[in-house]
Copies of this chain bind each other. A is one copy, B any other.
Amino acid sequence: MNMERIADLLFEALMLKQIPRSGYSFLGAGKENVAEHSFSTAFIAFIFSKLEPDADAARLMSMCLVHDLPESRIGDLNYVQKQYVSADESRAVEHAVAGLPFGSDMQALIIEFNTGKSLEARLARDADQLSFVLNLKALQDIGHTSPAKWIPCVVGRLKTATGKKLAESILRRDRDSWWLDQYDDNNVTNK
């Protein structure tokens, strides 16, 4: 087996730590790279796999882990950039998977994600958007005003009932409820 091509793939995925999600500078708040975003998306996919027993968990998580791999070769294109730039993502994927024993599997996962038809793909795409909703809500909680303009339109892209319900609950909570609510407030203040 061609282990060196696999090593190359790992170094290629490592590059995602260096690719900033370009939308945040247009937003004027926040900061995230593609590796952080991919973690967040795959983590939501893990949750979906628990909430949606009909979905194939492995395919759902795999799709999220690889969905932005082509950005190592293409960069992260935001809404404005997509007006002017057209990326040959298929070619980037072909080059990324060339010589890999499981190359056609990876290719199929990325195509499935982009097509967005299967249950798993619709959940994966919602995970992708929810990861953005989560960041926008956290930025709003610390006082940024620009997310208010974007949250409705990102939420509007959601396709699954579970994704929509999760978005609503994200918007009802605060970024720090997860720990503030678990402790006795008196304790927090008197530590």
Contacts and interface: CB of A to CB of B under 8 A. Distances in A.
Q: State the oligomeric state as a number of copies.
A: 6
Interface in A164-180: 165-166, 168-170, 172-179
Of the candidates A85, A143, A183, the one having the most CB atoms from chain B within 10 angstroms of its own CB is: A85
Given A88-B84, A105-B50, A178 B58 contact: no
Contacts of A70: 84
Nearest to A133: B10
A123 interface: no
A110 B100 CA distance: 30
In this complex, which of A25, A47, A178 has the most chain B Cβ atoms within 10 angstroms of its Cβ?
A: A178
A43 B74 CA distance: 19
A78 to B, nearest CB: 8
A17 interface: yes
Contact of A6 (B101, B166, B189): B166
**What class of interface size applies to chain A in its complex with B?**
35 or more
A18 B102 CA distance: 34
Interface in A1-46: 1, 3-4, 6-20, 22, 25-26, 28-29, 32-33, 35-36, 38-40, 42-44, 46
B39 A101 contact: no
Contact of A135 (B14, B81, B166): B14
17 contacts: A3-B165, A4-B177, A6-B169, A10-B166, A11-B138, A11-B170, A13-B40, A14-B40, A14-B135, A28-B138, A39-B39, A46-B61, A50-B101, A51-B101, A57-B62, A85-B86, A86-B88
Given A4-B173, A10-B47, 13 more contacts: A6-B47, A10-B170, A11-B174, A11-B176, A29-B142, A43-B65, A50-B105, A57-B58, A80-B179, A83-B91, A84-B89, A153-B189, A157-B191
